[in-house]
Each structure stands twice: as C-alpha cells, then as structure tokens.
Amino acid sequence: MRSGKKLIVALDIYDGSRAKEIALKIKDEIFAIKVNWPVVMANGSGIIKELSEIAPVLCDFKIADIPNTNRLITMKAKEEGAWGIISHSFTGTDSLEAVIAESKGKMKVFSVVTMSHPGYREFMEPLSERMIEASLRCGVDGFIVPGNDYSTIARVRKSAGDLLLAATGIGAQGGNAGKAVRAGADYVIVGRSIYQAESPLSAAREINMEISSEN
C-alpha cells in the first residue's frame, strides 16, 4: 500500500467560489481534488488551474469519443495543469491511446473499467476484464474502482499490479473508505459526504480516520 494522503475530494458543485472555499478549508486532509463536468461547465476550464493552486486536480471527464476528440479534451486538461485525467476504455484502444499519447507522461491516465452504480452491471460488467487487459496494453497509470464493492477492488488489484487504483462510491453510494483501501485502493474519491456536510473539514477528517483505523 502506498503511503501518504489517500483522500480525493470530488467537488461536483456549480459555484466555483464555493469549490475553492471548500478546497482551501480541507487542503491539509486531501491528496487531490476531482473535478467533473458540473464545476467545469459552470466556470470554464480555468477552474482546473485555479484549483490546482490548492491541490493536484484529477479531471473526471470520462472521455468516450473518437481519438481526435479525446486528444483535444486531454490537451485542454493538460494545458490547465491537471495532475490526472479519467477516460473510458470501452470506446477502444485507439481512443484510449490518444488520451495516453496526449498526456505525454505529464498527466496520470485512469481508465474506467468498473463503476459504482447499479447500471454498470447492465452492459459494462461482462466486459470489465477485457477492458482491464486492453488498458494495461495501452499503458494506463491506473484504474477507477467501485469503493462500494470490495471484491471488485481486489479483483482489479490482482490484474493491475502496482498501478494506481482510485475508488469512487464512498459514503453517499454506500462504500467505506477504510474497507476500500484495505481491499486494494490507493485513493478514495468522496463527493457529497464532504461538500454537503455542515463541516466539510470534519467530514474529511472523519474519512481519514476511517482509513487509518481500518488498517
């Protein structure tokens, strides 16, 4: 297991000032900030740079397009100084390779091969192992794993070796941060349980206590 901070806060809010305010309050508790479309659509891609001044930023764009469009999205995230980017893998190796090539070792590329919501089982689950193998061949830096499904985390860890695993689905979706880390996750991604809390700082501290008490 890697040492260091493991908590990544997902700031899925429109209000950029509020996002920065929360990030500043909890910066000592977190490894990184994950941004998704809500905060980027409402504030523009410049919010990536602004938040990067507080902590490394992981762009959860779940890229799922043709190689050229994937490349353009990746280039923008890189220009704004993102630490990492999340891409789907079901669109095929050429699409994923475009993300990796454009990241050029400057951004970590995480591939989505499992998901934390029930609908994942409808179409993606049967293809999960093939998506893991293909992502490994392409040279991803890590995978997104479901923090509310510990056996799946352990399964992905077996295939992923030493690559990074980031678990979503903690708190609001039922997962426990400590259990996810014990199952093999390097990072836990938590959104609503932190940004909707009366005190985001206390919520983040509590999650970090969960992580250290379970290990």
Q: What's the start-to-end Cα distance of the chain, in Å?
A: 10
Q: Which is nearer to ligand XMP, 40 or 189 (CB)?
A: 189
Cβ(10)–Cβ(34) below 8 Å: yes
Q: Which is nearer to ligand XMP, 71 or 88 (CB)?
A: 88
Q: Which of 62, 78, 158, 179 is catalytic?
A: 62
Please choose, from the candidates 70, 89, 161, 181, the residue with its C-alpha nearest in 3D space to the C-alpha of residue 132: 89
Q: How many other β-carbons are positioned within 10 Å of the β-carbon of residue 58?
A: 28
Beta carbon of residue 196, minimum distance to ligand XMP (angstroms, whole number): 8
List of residues contacting ligand XMP (CB under 6 A): 10, 12, 36, 60, 62, 86, 112, 115-116, 144, 146, 168-173, 189-193
Beta carbon of residue 19, minimum distance to ligand XMP (angstroms, whole number): 12
| Known catalytic residue at 62 | yes
Q: Spell out the residues 6+ positions from residue 129 whose beta carbon is closer than 8 angstroms to its own.
A: 159
Between CA 158 and CA 168 the distance in angstroms is 18
Beta carbon of residue 35, minimum distance to ligand XMP (angstroms, whole number): 8
- The residues carrying an active-site annotation are 62
